[in-house]
Amino acid sequence: MTWNILHDKVKHHLEFIYADVDLPLTIDQLAVSLMKTIGIDDEVDIAQPQSHYNYWDEDDIIMITYGDSVIDGDERPLVTLNRFLHRYCKNTVNNVHILPFFPYSSDDGFSVIDYSSVNESLGTWEDIEAIAKDYGLMTDLVINHCSARSAWFDNFVKGEGTGSDFFFTADPADDLSMVTRPRVSPLLRETETAKGTKHVWCTFSHDQVDFDFRNPNVLLAFVDIIRLYIDKGAKLFRLDAVAFLWKIVGTNCINLPQTHEVIRLLRTLIEHVDPSIIIITETNIPNRENLTYFGNANEAHAIYNFSLPPLLVNTLVSGDCKYLKSWMMSMPPAQNGTAYFNFIASHDGIGLRPAEGLLSDEEISELVHTMQNFGGKISWRASDHGQQKPYEINITLFDALQGTIKGPDRWQIDRFICAHAIMLGMEGIPGLYIHSLLGTSNDYEKVANTGQNRSINRRRWELTELEALLDSPYSQHHKVLTRLSQLIRVRKAQPAFHPNATQFTLQLGNQIFGYWRQSLDRKQSVFCISNISDEEQSVLLSDINLIGTDNWIDLITRQEIALSSSFLQMKPYQTLWISNQDFE
């Protein structure tokens, strides 16, 4: 693609985004400025991305962590994290999502004060680059809002300098009744400025002030930030809360067409710098809306599979997979060049909005009640009718799976491993939260100290304490890391677990959840079968339909499957990966 052709493509994006906005410069000038800012001009070679090309394979595993999830005395936490990764995770994960590592004022990093520097309490850019040398670095682009303590917002209050016109304001008299909110706090923050009283839009909290992307200088500022992160080694960008980016008073202000076009524009700019850089959209919204962020393989490379965590937890605590099975059957396969980002635990809680329309209100209520019995907290949001509805369950995944709706039982670790075996075999790129790899339990002390429900799943481990636990064969932490590491090792060796390999849902009743994967070259098949109940189950081999001319083994245990038997006997929460080939 020549510079002129790319320039015209960028202009096309901009003409759509700013169709109803009076700009202080021409579309042509803005296109040139954006291309120069990202590092594209007519004197350098322009990268040529391949259409519908998968820049990932079965070897890709992403670990999600805070920069200070593991600390060691006065050592910079990012240095400690790097040491921890090399000792315990080097053969397990090859990509690391370090949650916002910038100076911040609240929300554990997602209220950014300065996008261009590393929080000095974590380390330096050199520490980030050291991790990026050995792992694919995934970084957050907190693009919807920034901290009310940022220099940009200070300039907004002063009415001068960069940032003075960066923030979205509205009139309290406007009809804002349709606005979709993930929080129950007031939407507008009254702020006294040099230009009078302003009411600043705050989708999340009054410390998180929303940008106004109608101002092209905001877009230019973020393209400059993207270029910085690329230079520091970023290979994956997580667009945080991007669904709320564009606002139009009188609408619901979520998933607006301009938001999608901004993502497509960023994709165009980034992939012509480095085609291998991946964009992942974080859109904690109902499933059907979430799928739209793939575009036509020209928007997000990957989308968070937000419906998976609540559906899978519900499956394992209820002992019934009908909802999970129905959802999986409805999910369109991701076309080449796109992939699902699968996760079942993260730094946030278990979101319930993505379960809307998939689980009934009664099912959600029972799930919430069960999680509360297991020590979980509930975060709320305001519904369209002003009522409070559960928005998120705050609990570690390990404690969420300590039992069933009947109460805690002895199957906690087996149930926990079963959840990951289901997720690791599915179509998509797996993401594992560090506290899942470590089998971390609820941190009630941190909740008490911060007053924030989400702190329950954000423990900060002392390295010496953690190492002692991980090195003890009797601890839950050792057992979990050992078993998960083994599962991941097996998964990474199998072509049928390529994120875009064929997947079909199996019909094996409500206590057995199963699906079939086939490698892209059609040479390897894997039948992934899990007993999601607390009782032994029998599976008829005729229901799986294994080809009699092939030899079949369970990849996890290495045991052969005797086709002469009429059924498989499965223990509670046991998973089988039955394949005609073993590539490990």
Domain residues for the domain of 511 are: 502-579
Secondary-structure breakdown of the chain: helix, strand, coil percentages, each rounded to the nearest 5: 35, 20, 45
Burial category of 64 from C-beta neighbours within 10 Å (exposed 0-12, middle 13-18, buried 19 and up): buried
Query: Can you say whether residue 341 is alpha, beta or left, with left for phi > 0 and alpha for psi between -120 and 50 degrees?
Result: beta
- The answer to the question of residue 252 being in a domain is no
| Residue 521 included in any domain | yes
Residue 581: per-residue pLDDT:
87
Burial class (CB in 10 A: 0-12, 13-18, 19+), 249: middle
Q: What is the mean pLDDT of each run of 10 residues along the chain (584 residues)?
A: 91 97 95 96 84 96 98 98 96 97 96 98 98 98 98 98 98 94 90 98 97 98 98 98 97 97 98 97 89 96 96 98 96 96 95 90 94 94 74 96 97 98 98 98 96 95 97 97 98 97 97 97 96 96 81 94 87 97 81
How many Å from the N-terminal Cα to the C-terminal Cα in the chain? 41
pLDDT at res. 273: 96
| 3-class SS string, 88-121 | HHCCCCCEEEECCCCCECCHHHCCECCCCCCCCC
- Asked whether residue 530 is assigned to any structural domain, the reply reads yes
Contact 491, 60 (CB under 8 A): no
Pick out the residues of the known binding site for substrate: 107, 145, 238-240, 347-348, 454
Whole-number Cα distances in Å, 316 to 324, 360, 405, 532 = 10, 17, 9, 6
Q: What is the pLDDT of residue 181?
A: 84
Residue 560 lies in a domain: yes
Residue 568 lies in a domain: yes
Dig out the tokens for 283 from the structure. Answer: 């859109």
**Is 81 part of any domain?**
no
Catalytic residue among 60, 140, 210, 240: 240
DSSP secondary structure string for all residues of 9-41: HHHHHHHHHTTTS--SS-HHHHHHHHHHHHT--
pLDDT at 384: 65
How many CA atoms, within 13 angstroms, populate the side-chain half-sphere of residue 49?
A: 22
- Give the pLDDT score at 545: 81
The rounded Cα 365 to chain-centroid distance in angstroms is 24
Following DSSP, what letter does each residue of 138-160 receive, concatenated? EEEEE-SEEETTSHHHHHHHHT-
Number of domains in the chain: 1
Q: What is the CATH number of the domain that holds 548?
A: 2.60.40.1180
Residue with tokens 């929300």: 107
Rounded CA-CA distance 350/403 in Å is: 17
In a domain, 533, yes or no: yes
Total number of residues shown for the chain: 584
Residue 388 within a domain: no
What's the CA gap between 481 and 438, in Å, rounded? 6
Long-range contacts of 399-402, Cβ-Cβ distance < 8 Å, separation of 24 or more: 399/374, 399/375, 399/441, 399/442, 400/313, 400/317, 400/350, 400/371, 400/374, 400/376, 401/313, 401/316, 401/317, 402/374
Amino acid of residue 61: I
74 is catalytic: no
